[in-house]
Structure 1
């Protein structure tokens, strides 16, 4: 049993849970996140979402300023947008799930799973530049 405990302790030291450490404060790192979707063999620009503290704005295209809204993020990195999210929530689209990915050494990002009016789902990835 001692051998298993030692192995477990070494594994925890080698692979700390730092990937999720950023989730504990309930915020994404501040910055501009470029959003894209892969569709029909190409990446399509869905605009930029700006995060500052617990406020987001966008998506924007070409630097237009838009109103900011609050968002919340739980300890697992699931994001609740507390306002509209541009084209992600217009035209019959709705956001089914937004999930942050914070991995040490990689740019922070989040995925937005959208449900389209016909019931199909589309996933977009937004990565901080």
Structure 2
């Protein structure tokens, strides 16, 4: 009986230690995500994407925010934007993949991999502050 109790406690402790934020709700935590790219030794500001529920708006570098659009996130943290995403989806650019990270101690973030018109790829990171 004591062995069973000890094993049960060990299993509970190991499950609690492995607990982390996950993507089961299908959305990012609400907030303003600051996007930047590292290019030629500098971090360049790409604007702010605001998340509220299953809606996003932006990126905004200056001026008024565009109307919000829906987004979807699968259980693996891959985000599909269901509307335009500023310069990421204009001028021949397209989104290759967006991957969320929720277990970063510095806060939730996502990486956007953009395919440029010429076929080159650019990666940017958007972090909630």
User: Smaller-chain TM-score range?
Assistant: 0.7 to 0.9
- The alignment status of 1:18 with 2:20, answered yes or no, reads yes
Asked if the contact 1:113–1:123 (Cα under 8 Å) also holds between the matched residues in 2, the reply is: yes
Measure, in 2, the Cα distance between the counterparts of 1:37 and 1:52.
23
| TM norm structure 1 | 0.86
Task: Report the count of equivalent residues.
Answer: 121
Asked if the contact 1:18–1:104 (Cα under 8 Å) also holds between the matched residues in 2, the reply is: no
- The alignment status of 1:106 with 2:106, answered yes or no, reads yes
Point out where structure 2 has 5 or more consecutive residues left out of the alignment.
Answer: 1-6
Per-residue CA deviation, residues 70-97 of structure 1 (Å, 9 max, x unaligned), is 0000001000000000000011110000
Note the C-alpha offset of 1:124. 0.4
CA RMSD of aligned residues (A): 1.9
Measure, in 2, the Cα distance between the counterparts of 1:110 and 1:66.
20
Measure, in 2, the Cα distance between the counterparts of 1:24 and 1:120.
33
Secondary structure of residue in 2 paired with 1:18: coil
The runs of at least 4 consecutive aligned structure 1 residues that moved more than 4 Å come to 8-11
| TM norm structure 2 | 0.86
Give runs of aligned pairs for residues 82-93 of structure 1, distance below 5 A. Answer: 82-93=82-93
Measure, in 2, the Cα distance between the counterparts of 1:63 and 1:9.
53
Point out where structure 1 has 5 or more consecutive residues left out of the alignment.
Answer: 1-5
Correspondence for 1:3: none
Measure, in 1, the Cα distance between the counterparts of 2:24 and 2:71.
15
